[in-house]
Structure 1
Amino acid sequence: MTVGHRGASATRARVTVAVIVTLTLLLGLRLWVVEPLVVSSNSMEPTVLRGSIIFLLKTAPTADAFTPGRLAVFQNPKDGHTTIKRVIAVGGQRVDIRDAILYVDGVRVSEPFVDHSRIDGTYFGPVTVPAGHVFVLGDNRAVSIDSREFGAIPLENFDASLL
């Protein structure tokens, strides 16, 4: 019986070590690599619904993260909250909205994810995006607080990429 008891203790010790290592790895992954966030607004509907969970890769964004059309996560300059919006233009490009239609550098942008009937009669700009900045808009333009209100976002405000 003594031999069987030692085997059970060794098994418990291995299981305990495995659980501690797993929890440590998961905590490290959560702190330094991937962060789940719950979307708390409807400014990106219908693309990202309120209550959706998105995962952020907590590494510095690559250059393609700022490609117009991509979704980006940044620190909102007004309140510091983590915010998700769509990249519309980068430094040096000109943005304007005429009767709800987006134009970048004078060229109409196709936006099948935007319900134009809800934002008919909307006008904005034109503005030129400063170097080192990104112009972002929400897909639900009727309710989105975005670069039309707080201006272009400095590149240093982007500290994560979407998975």
Structure 2
Amino acid sequence: MSAGAKNHARSDEKRQTGKQRSFWKELPLLIGIALVLALLIKTFLVQAFSIPSNSMQNTLQVGDRVLVDKLTPWFGSEPERGEVVVFHDPGGWLSESPVPQPTGVGGAVQQALSFVGLMPSAEEQDLIKRVIAVGGDTVRCERGGSVKVNGKALDEPYIFPGNTACDDKPFGPVKVPEGRLWVMGDHRQDSLDSRFHQKLKGGGTVPTDQVVGRAIVVAWPLTRWSTLPEPDTFGQKGLAAKMAEGAPAALGLAGAVPLVLLRRRRRLLHDVINEPAIKD
């Protein structure tokens, strides 16, 4: 091999070595960027949660992973009737016993992954239920009957087969305070929901500012992939709470005032245009 060929071969080898070294130098940076992006996504966009109990069967099964929309609440949107939401313990809903913490290398990995939202955290004290009524609604359920919101009976096909709407724990009527929610599990006979916490502060309702976000899709296992839409029964006519007495009159007055002012302005303008000229 000639000297020129040897030099060319050495140059190629150096370029390849340089590329390899450059990649290994950039790898930590790439990993850091990926972790930062994952953390931002968890904080502001979407977070994965694991289902720990039977309270939402058959909609959700133990071990399901759901993706929760955390972005929408940032724009002032509040949970609506029929949505499945994840929320922090309002106080006294969950057991006060300490949560066992993972240990060893596996525990460290789980804590790291849960920090960036790639794995559910063992420390989070969150619950998942379906919103039945929102602030201003009146909700009730008598033994042998259906859940009623503002006097309208709900058709609830999502309730666990064989369960009743509330025979194990009838309730109401309950007027849900503004800024709070009445929530229930789909597995009614295996869900410690709003019905069972009425003696606590808030009368069993959940503050909207304690809601983490809306569960939008079952992401894992893949065989159970599905979206979590709002059931049709919550869109029935007349379900929304009626306006308080006097509200229609107030709205009518608010609408009438601009019309009166506009009419008066037009009259003044007409008088100015048609005002007779001043004579000397």
Q: Fold match, TM over 0.5?
A: yes
User: Do the aligned partners of 2:160 and 2:187 also contact (CA within 8 Å) in 1?
Assistant: yes
**TM superposition shift of 1:16:** 4.1
Deviation at 1:113, TM superposition (A): 0.5
Conserved 8 A contact 2:183-2:193: yes
Range 136-145 or range 107-116, more displaced: 107-116
Any idea what the Cα deviations from partners look like across 1:107-139, whole Å, max 9, x if unmatched?
111111114732373422111111221111111
Cα deviation, residue 55, structure 1: 1.8
Name 2:61's counterpart in structure 1.
Answer: 49
Structure 1, residues 69-128: CA drift from partner, whole Å, max 9, x if none?
Answer: 111111122246211111111122111112151111111111111147323734221111
Matched, 1:66 2:110: no
Task: Give 1:155 shift.
Answer: 1.6
Aligned-partner residue type, residue 7 of structure 1: K
Q: Distance in 1 between matches of 2:39 and 2:210?
A: 25
Which is richer in helix? 2
Structure holding more strand per residue = 1
Stretches of structure 2 that go unaligned for 5 or more consecutive residues are 1-9, 95-124, 198-203, 217-280
The answer for the alignment partner of 2:209 in structure 1 is 156
Aligned to 1:76: 89
Alignment partners' CA distance in 2, 1:54 and 1:65: 19
Q: Equivalents in 1 of 2:39, 2:180: separation in Å?
A: 33
Contact 1:68–1:88 under 8 Å retained in 2: yes
Q: Is the 8 A contact 2:83 2:214 kept in 1?
A: no
Size of the aligned set, in residue pairs, is 163
Cα distance change on mapping 1:8 and 1:64 into 2, 3 Å:
closer
RMSD in angstroms over aligned alpha carbons? Answer: 2.4
> What amino acid is aligned across from residue 29 of structure 1 in structure 2?
I
Q: Return the match for 1:94 from 135, 138, 146.
A: 138
Cα distance between partner residues in 2 of 1:28 and 1:92: 34
Match of residue 163 from structure 2: 118
Letter of the aligned partner of 1:157 in structure 2?
Q
Query: Take 2:30 and 2:82, find their aligned partners in 1: how far apart are those partners?
Result: 43
- 1:63/1:149 CA distance change after superposition, 3 Å: farther
Q: For residue 18 of structure 1, what is the aligned residue in structure 2?
A: 30
Give SS of 2:162's match.
helix
The one-letter amino acid of 1:76's match is D
Whether 2:164 is the aligned partner of 1:132: answer no
